[in-house]
Amino acid sequence: MKTLQWWISQIKQEKYEREHFASRPHFITLYTALSRHIIRPNPYAAQNLNNQIREHIAVTPRAIRTLCLGTLVLERLEKLHHNYHMAIPILLNSLRVLTAGRTPREKVGQDCKLTTQAAFILLMNLKGMHREGLVRLGANTQENLEAFIQSHLISQGSRWMKRKVYVTWSGVQVSLTRNLYDMIIELLRIQSRRDTLHQTQMLQSITARLETQHRLRT
C-alpha cells in the first residue's frame, strides 16, 4: 500500500500533465486502488462493505492507512479530467467506507471534504453518459446514486442544521449543492426523451425531495 501511495503522490498537478495522464487508461488504476483496498478487507477478497465500515468506525491501524490512501486517490481523481461510467458504484461504496457509514447529519471534518470531492467526481462520470450506460450500472447502483443525491440535498430549514455539526457542513454546502444539482441535470439529460425515460422513479424521488426542501424553507 505504501508503494501505491508513493506512485499516486507522483502524479503532477500541472494542467498539461493532468490532461495527458487522464487521456490514458492509468486513471483506472486509481479506481482499482479504491476497489481493492477500500471496499475489500484485502486486495484479493470479495467486496465486504459492512466489514470495512465497522473497521473504520473502530479506527483500526489498517483503517487509518486506507483512509490516507482513499483521501489521496480522491484528491487526484478530482484533478483529472476523465469519464469512466463504471466507476460510479466504486465511488459510492468507497465514500460509505471512508466516512464510516455516517449520514449527512453525522458527518464532520474530513467526511465533508471527501463527500464534496466524490460528488464532483460522480458528476464528471455522469457527463457524456447515455441511457444505456445508466441501465448497465444496474438497479442497485441507480438506487445508491438516488440515495446519495437525496440525502445530501441540504435544506436551510432542516432542524439538524442548527446543531453544531452544521458549522462544518456550511463551508462545503454551496459547492456540494451545486454539484448535486448538476448531477440532477445530467440525469435529466440522460433520460430526456420520452421513449427512453425508463428510470422515472429515480427522478420522481429526487423531485419529491426537492419539494420537501422547498416546503421546509418556506
Indicate the SS3 state at residue 126: helix
Whether the predicted model's global pTM rises above the 0.85 cut = no
pLDDT at residue number 133: 87
The interaxial angle of helices 61-79 and 49-58, nearest 10 deg, is: 110
**Phi and psi (nearest 5°) for 81?**
-75, 110
Our measurement of the distance from residue 97's CA atom to the centroid of its chain's CA atoms, rounded to an integer in Å, reads 11
Other C-beta atoms lying within 10 Å of the C-beta of residue 58? 10
Give the list of residues 6+ apart from residue 139 with CB closer than 8 angstroms, or none.
none
Q: Which of 48-57, 99-108, 136-145 has the lowest mean pLDDT?
A: 99-108
Q: Which whole number is the average pLDDT over 147-169?
A: 63
pLDDT at residue number 81: 84
Is residue 97 within 8 A of residue 91, CB to CB? The reply is no
pLDDT at residue number 25: 65
Instruction: State the pLDDT confidence band at 188, using cuts at 50, 70 and 90.
Output: confident
**pLDDT tops 70 at residue 192:** no
Cell of 214: 422547498
Domain ranges for the chain: 1-101, 134-218
Task: Convert the pLDDT of each residue in 71-95 to its tens digit.
Answer: 999 998 998 888 889 999 999 999 9
Instruction: State the pLDDT confidence band at 105, using cuts at 50, 70 and 90.
Output: confident
Percent of the chain with pLDDT over 90: 35
Task: Convert the pLDDT of each residue in 3-14 to its tens digit.
Answer: 555 555 555 444
- Tell me what the pLDDT averaged over the chain comes to: 78
Instruction: State the pLDDT confidence band at 196, using cuts at 50, 70 and 90.
Output: very low
Q: Which whole number is the average pLDDT over 30-42?
A: 93
State the sign of the Cα–Cα–Cα–Cα dihedral 166, 168, 174, 175: negative
Q: Which whole number is the average pLDDT over 49-74?
A: 93
**pLDDT tops 90 at residue 31:** yes
Give the list of residues 6+ apart from residue 193 with CB closer than 8 angstroms, or none.
none
CA-based nearest residue to 153, from 108, 194, 214, 198: 214
Q: Which whole number is the average pLDDT over 172-199?
A: 73
